[in-house]
Amino acid sequence: MDSTEDLDYPQIIFQYSNGFLVSKVMFTACELGVFDLLLESGQPLSLDVIAARLGTSIIGMERLLDACVGLKLLAVELRRDGAFYRNTEISNIYLTKSSPKSQYHIMMYYSNTVYLCWHYLTDAVREGRNQYERAFGISSEDLFRAMYRSEEEMLKFLAGQNSIWSICGRDVLTAFDLSPFTQIYDLGGGGGALAQECVFLYPNCTVTIYDLPKVVQVAKERLVPPEERRIAFHEGDFFKDSIPEADLYILSKILHDWDDEKCGQLLAEVYKACRPGGGVLLVESLLSGDRSGPVETQLYSLNMLVQTEGKERTAAEYSKLLGAAGFRDIRVRRTGKLYDAVLGRK
């Protein structure tokens, strides 16, 4: 018997075509403050109260809340005086701004920036390049000038990346024992969440965040606690400026932004700067060897097409890039989560 006979193809296509609607429901509820309001209230609230406090129409809010119930983001209790809504556990943990594991900022970045680029996915596939010019009317010749086109946009991006590392950082930093490496450079370390997790896990290390000057300033002033003395900063562009000597270099979600040529150029400079016995840790979402999945990584690779100059790669492809730069004893650890780790030694 053909195993596909049990599949409900119309239902699968229906679910796929409505994926956009599902994510927009979640993004809109986050943006309006639905989950934050319900957390702060400490008790279920009625439709009228929620709509009044958030300044929305009753008819629109009712449909939004009911969709969130259907998505298991809210629970509803029907009383004599109407429907009362409360957060589910997943919303309290991941969708409220105050939670340590909040994904609010990355949701807002996807809703207000990524989706605008994805509107031009057809053009990106035809042309093989990112879509900043169509989406925002700006040149992407300098990729990160386009991505950081305003301080507000840069802060959204950095806060969004920090939210990812709040739930994924520990997995990638403990994939290998990094305790032998005491002086670490986090290249493109952005908002500093991964650096903070690293010094927490490995108290004997120091981490220097190496990033563009305006990124470093924002990280210093708004994202990294000033009392954290084990984190330092280095302003520069690692494609143009020298890379200081260190025991370990962390490149988290860096190589997927660039083509193989630029990746090779950067890794060669990292290898030259690396102390003998040191290494480089790549943190990326790895495609399977036969490129059949994971589907999240395949979608990320399309996102790299519409937003960057790069792509997601297999473990073998990253290993080849590392080997070409001179690194040896290359090991791969799949975490079972969104991001994986690859370690190369000098």
Helix (H) or strand (E) holding 195: helix 193-201
Residues 112 and 247 in one domain: yes
Which pLDDT score is estimated for 91? Answer: 98
Cis peptide bond upstream of 10, omega within 30: no
Q: How does strand 274-284 pair with strand 340-345? A: antiparallel
Last residue of a domain, one of 79, 95, 111: 95
pLDDT average, residue stretch 233-255: 98
Residues 199 and 324 in one domain: yes
Residues 65 and 121 in one domain: no
Q: Rounded to whole angstroms, how far apart are CA atoms 123 and 133?
A: 11
Q: Rounded to whole angstroms, how far apart are CA atoms 239 and 188?
A: 11
Is residue 14's pLDDT more than 90?
Answer: no
Last residue of a domain, one of 53, 79, 95: 95
Residues 122 and 86 in one domain: no
Residues 61 and 108 in one domain: no
Residues 251 and 302 in one domain: yes
Q: Report if residue 1 sits inside a domain.
A: no
Residues 219 and 161 in one domain: yes
CA–CA–CA angle 323, 329, 331 (5° rounding):
95
| Structural domain range at position 28 | 11-95
Which pLDDT score is estimated for 1? Answer: 40
The sign of the dihedral angle between the CA atoms of 92, 95, 97, 103 is positive
Please check whether residue 170 is in contact with residue 199, taking contact to mean a CB–CB distance below 8 angstroms. Answer: no
What pLDDT, in 10s, does the model give residues 189-230? 999 999 999 999 999 999 999 999 999 999 999 999 999 999
Q: Report if residue 249 sits inside a domain.
A: yes
* Residue 138 neighbours by CB under 8 Å, 6+ apart: 132, 146, 149
Last residue of a domain, one of 68, 95, 122: 95
Q: Rounded to whole angstroms, how far apart are CA atoms 252 and 69?
A: 35
Residues 275 and 139 in one domain: yes
Q: Rounded to whole angstroms, how far apart are CA atoms 236 and 215?
A: 10
For 255, the 3-state DSSP assignment is helix
What pLDDT, in 10s, does the model give residues 281-335? 999 999 999 999 999 999 999 999 999 999 999 999 999 999 999 999 999 999 9
What pLDDT, in 10s, does the model give residues 146-196? 899 998 999 999 999 999 999 999 999 999 999 999 999 999 999 999 999
What pLDDT, in 10s, does the model give residues 109-151? 999 999 999 999 999 999 999 999 999 999 988 888 889 999 8
What pLDDT, in 10s, does the model give residues 40-95? 999 999 999 999 999 999 999 999 999 999 999 999 999 999 999 999 999 999 99
Residues 78 and 132 in one domain: no
Is residue 5's pLDDT more than 60?
Answer: no
Q: Facing residues of 84 across strands?
A: 46, 77
Q: Alpha carbon of 245 to those of 71, 253, 345: distances in Å?
A: 49, 21, 14
- In the chain, how many domains are there? 2
Residues 83 and 140 in one domain: no
The beta strands (E) that lie in the chain are given as 45-46, 74-79, 82-87, 183-187, 206-211, 231-235, 246-252, 274-284, 328-333, 340-345
> For the stretch 271-300, what's the b/e string if a residue is b when 16 or more beta carbons lie within 10 angstroms of its beta carbon?
bebbeeebbbbbbbbbbeeeeeeeeebbeb
* Residue 81 neighbours by CB under 8 Å, 6+ apart: 46
Burial status of residue 143 (CB atoms within 10 A of its CB: 0-12, 13-18, 19 or more) = middle
- Give the residue numbers annotated as catalytic, written as ranges: 256
Q: Report if residue 6 sits inside a domain.
A: no
CATH number, domain of 288, equals 3.40.50.150
Cβ count near 172 (within 10 Å): 26
Q: Report if residue 4 sits inside a domain.
A: no
Residues 77 and 225 in one domain: no
Residues 25 and 111 in one domain: no
Residue given tokens 């699968």 in the structure block: 12
